[in-house]
Amino acid sequence: MLNFEFCAPTKFVFGRDGQHKVGQLVREFGGSRALIVYGGGSVVRSGLLAQVIASLDDAAVEHLELGGVKPNPRSDLVYEGIRLCKENGVDFVLPVGGGSAIDTAKAIADGACYDGDFWDFYCGRAKVVRALPHGCVLTIPAAGSEGSTSSVITQLDGNLKRGLNSDFHRPRFAVMNPELTFTLPRYQLACGITDMMAHIMERYFTNTPDVALTDRLAEALLCSIIEAAPVAMADSQDYESHATLMWAGMLAHNNSVGVGREQDWASHQIGHEISAKYDTAHGASLAVVFPAWMQYVCKHDVKRFVRFATKVWGIDPSGKTDEETALAGIAAMKAFFASIGMPQTLEQAGGKAEDIPALAAKVVNGKTGHFVELLPPQIEEVLRLTCEQK
């Protein structure tokens, strides 16, 4: 186990009707003028935005609105949000939505307290030392952004998708009402399921020895997600399965299963390039990249893949070589992703094989991954594996 620091101070308000507490929560964390950040019309149509506004009004919290966040959230809306905050004395940022709204809000909160370009933070030219407080109302279980330090933004100028981790990115509160996810299109839910599993697996595949405790916690989360996913996909009104997915999505990314371990993150980096180029949903990119990455790196530590296959996917190892067991686990995962409607190949995810060298060349810093370090030629090989239908 490696030395680590872990601080996850977000106040989670989990369960039915939490959105009616938003006003008092903003007040509790010092807000008096909030910028509500949201995406398309669904939070308007569902009546959630009106409920949030009513709660803010009840608590005498002033509010402005910034709608229009898109999946793979972009810099243009961040600039707009920063302008609104600065011009109106906003002291609290309140995303209502999924990871895209929350990540946008985090970037706005950073930029609102900074004289330069917020993109300085995302490309490493500056470090966040001050930010507006933010708290969220979650409507999509997946991103984990409600409990994590991370935010990922696409800079339109250059089509660069970059992530930034900062302690300032932990929301002060997160309202998590599973009922708010009932109206989610099932494809988006499936993307979320894939994304939360990926967050766990990025941490699971490690070279750090003596991490059985976090291994077991990761396996517990994955098994619970795999159990809840088909129930939630089949019945959009089933509270318990949606609740399990929502809470698991937070735990998958608040780093509670990642502490003390070297983590990989190559699949996320490669997936980000696919999403940035084709505007593929984040989860869909991961569904394509992760199995290919596993096939490519499996031999690096086949015992870990055997553990993954047996503990998470219930593969019976009897009569199989370690490599056969490992590959059976990867195949089971791929079949699971297919069963919830995720793409299986780069082409199905909207990509083209001919773009592979360009995609590989674009990955940040020219290398990625810690379980196995990948340079562009290896990234190309991983991407070629995403073109094969198995």
Annotate 40-93 with DSSP letters as a single string: SSHHHHTSHHHHHHHHHHHTT-EEEEE----SS-BHHHHHHHHHHHHHHT--EE
Cα gap 390→384, rounded to integer Å: 13
Q: How far is residue 146 from each of residues 7, 99, 142, 252, measured CA to CA in Å?
A: 14, 8, 9, 11
C-beta closer to its own copies: residue 91 or 219: 219
C-beta closer to its own copies: residue 248 or 333: 248
C-beta closer to its own copies: residue 195 or 273: 195
CB of 225 to its own copies, least distance (A): 9
C-beta closer to its own copies: residue 7 or 60: 7
CB of 132 to its own copies, least distance (A): 19
How far is residue 184 CA from its own chain's centroid?
16
C-beta closer to its own copies: residue 210 or 316: 210
Q: With CA atoms as reference, report the closest residue to 242 among 148, 177, 187, 336.
A: 177
* Site for its own copies, rule CB under 8 A: 1-16, 18, 209-210, 212-213, 216-217, 219-221, 223-224, 227-228, 240, 243-244, 247-248, 256, 259-260
CB of 146 to its own copies, least distance (A): 12
CB of 199 to its own copies, least distance (A): 15
CB of 259 to its own copies, least distance (A): 7
- The SS3 assignment for 257 reads coil
CB of 114 to its own copies, least distance (A): 22
Cα gap 171→31, rounded to integer Å: 13
Q: Which two tokens stand for residue 288?
A: 């394509």
C-beta closer to its own copies: residue 185 or 314: 314
Q: Please give the single-letter amino acid code of residue 316.
A: D
In this structure, are residues 205 and 264 in contact, taking their beta carbons and an 8 Å threshold? Answer: yes
